[in-house]
């Protein structure tokens, strides 16, 4: 928890063994720690919060709370332990502050993007070594992604999924027990992970073996719509303008895409947050906003195809944060490591 007052008192409440990491990240305020061996959350957190607020003489005041980021049970416990506090939701105000990132926050997001890219690429490198020897399971591939995200410095993994063939027709399809990766199939690899609380939301495509003409063409179609979105990812544009640009390109090039999920969203202290690049969001794009661009088109067998990149809105356009490798062509798993 963070307690922040109008007179600039700032205090983080956390477990004792987290305090060094918080200082290393540049925190200049106070830190109130609790011992998890003596008392577990949520009670330990609330006890510390009560002590902090008592010291500041705030136990009978109006206090704002970010209600959307805590559980109902934790909020109920706060109200019971601090019955004289009037809790006022401040979700909208904080959401407006979070939507434009500081330079330090952008740096954290850029590193998170590199962690996810490194995890996927490293798992694909493992796969290259087994492409001629059947026996590499989808669940094992996903586990390789997770492990490599941590090995490259990631501090947490959220959603993790690998889908192939008919399974890739769905937004999410859990693999069958010990389902193997098969030659000739399109494979979609999705992962969300965070770097000390700042999230990446990544999704990439590969094909086992050399791609067919139809598979390469389908992936090229996705890149065509993505280019239209990038050209409109500019300060001063509305979020819906990016969506409309993809609609226009879709009609012009006769490329179908999944309109219902929009074409991207913000990323920051969560893996999906405002602004939303869809038909209804009129948020003006501004420098400091960070966007995960995500357009779903369709493969030869109706597989959902996407190549999800993270961009920072800058003064004259956008800057690619997930730059670790070029994904302009479909990654072919042929037994030879690809590094272009």
- Domains of the chain, CATH where assigned: 2-98 (3.40.350.10), 103-333 (3.90.230.10)
Q: Is 121 helix (H, G, I), strand (E, B) or coil?
A: helix
Report how far residue 111's alpha carbon sits from residue 194's, in angstroms, rounded to the nearest whole number: 9
Cβ proximity of 298 and 304 under 8 Å: yes
Model pTM score: 0.87
Angstrom distances, CA of residue 173 to CA of 93, 179, 284: 36, 12, 35
How many other CB atoms are there within 10 angstroms of residue 21's CB atom?
A: 12
What is the structure's pLDDT at 21? Answer: 82
Going by C-alpha positions, the residue among 196, 192, 207 that lies closest to residue 116 is 192
What is the structure's pLDDT at 135? Answer: 61
Distance of CA 31 to the CA centre of its chain: 28
Angstrom distances, CA of residue 121 to CA of 35, 189, 196, 296: 39, 10, 21, 21
Report how far residue 295's alpha carbon sits from residue 243's, in angstroms, rounded to the nearest whole number: 10
Where are the strands (E) in 35-81, listed by range? Answer: 62-65
Burial 240-250 (b: 16+ CB within 10 A, else e): bbbbbbbbebb
CA angle 319, 324, 330 (to 5 degrees): 100
Where are the strands (E) in the chain, listed by range? Answer: 2-4, 10-15, 30-34, 62-65, 86-89, 156-164, 186-195, 198-208, 264-266, 273-276, 290-293, 297-298, 304-305, 309-314, 317-320, 331-333
Helix pair 239-253, 213-232: axis angle to 10 deg: 140
Angstrom distances, CA of residue 15 to CA of 147, 230, 305, 307: 25, 42, 42, 38
Going by C-alpha positions, the residue among 122, 127, 147, 146 that lies closest to residue 137 is 127
Low-confidence ranges of the chain (pLDDT < 70): 131-135, 337-340
Report how far residue 182's alpha carbon sits from residue 178's, in angstroms, rounded to the nearest whole number: 12
Reply yes or no: is the peptide bond before residue 223 cis, omega within 30 of 0: no
What is the structure's pLDDT at 338? Answer: 53
107: burial class by Cβ within 10 Å (0-12, 13-18, 19+)? middle
Report how far residue 269's alpha carbon sits from residue 287's, in angstroms, rounded to the nearest whole number: 17
């Amino acid at each position: 928890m963070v307690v922040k007052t109008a007179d600039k008192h700032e205090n983080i409440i956390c477990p004792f063994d987290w305090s060094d990491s918080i200082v290393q990240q540049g925190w200049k305020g106070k830190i109130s720690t609790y011992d998890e061996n003596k008392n577990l959350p949520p009670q330990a957190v609330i006890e510390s919060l009560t002590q902090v607020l008592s010291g500041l003489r705030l136990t009978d005041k109006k206090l704002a709370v970010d209600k959307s980021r805590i559980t109902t049970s934790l909020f109920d416990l706060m109200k019971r332990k601090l019955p004289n506090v009037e809790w006022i939701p401040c979700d909208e105000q904080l959401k407006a502050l979070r939507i434009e990132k500081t330079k330090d926050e952008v740096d954290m997001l850029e590193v998170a993007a590199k962690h996810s890219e490194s995890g996927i690429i490293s798992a694909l490198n493992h796969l290259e070594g087994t492409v001629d020897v059947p026996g590499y399971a989808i669940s094992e591939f996903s586990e390789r992604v997770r492990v490599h995200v941590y090995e490259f410095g990631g501090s947490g993994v959220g959603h993790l999924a690998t889908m192939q063939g008919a399974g890739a027709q769905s937004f999410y399809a859990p693999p069958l027990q010990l389902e193997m990766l098969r030659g000739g199939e399109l494979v979609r690899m999705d992962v969300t992970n965070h770097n000390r609380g700042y999230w990446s939301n990544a999704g990439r495509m590969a094909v086992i073996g050399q791609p067919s003409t139809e598979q390469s063409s389908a992936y090229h179609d996705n890149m065509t719509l993505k280019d239209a979105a990038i050209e409109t990812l500019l300060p001063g544009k509305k979020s819906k303008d990016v969506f409309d640009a993809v609609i226009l390109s879709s009609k012009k090039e006769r490329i179908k895409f999944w309109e219902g999920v929009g074409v991207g969203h913000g990323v920051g202290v969560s893996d999906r947050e405002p602004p939303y690049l869809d038909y209804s969001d009129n948020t003006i794009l501004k420098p400091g906003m960070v966007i995960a661009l995500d357009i779903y088109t369709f493969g030869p067998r109706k597989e959902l195809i996407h190549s999800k990149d993270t961009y920072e809105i800058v003064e004259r356009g956008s800057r690619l944060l997930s730059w670790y490798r070029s994904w302009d062509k479909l990654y072919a798993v042929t037994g030879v490591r690809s590094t272009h």
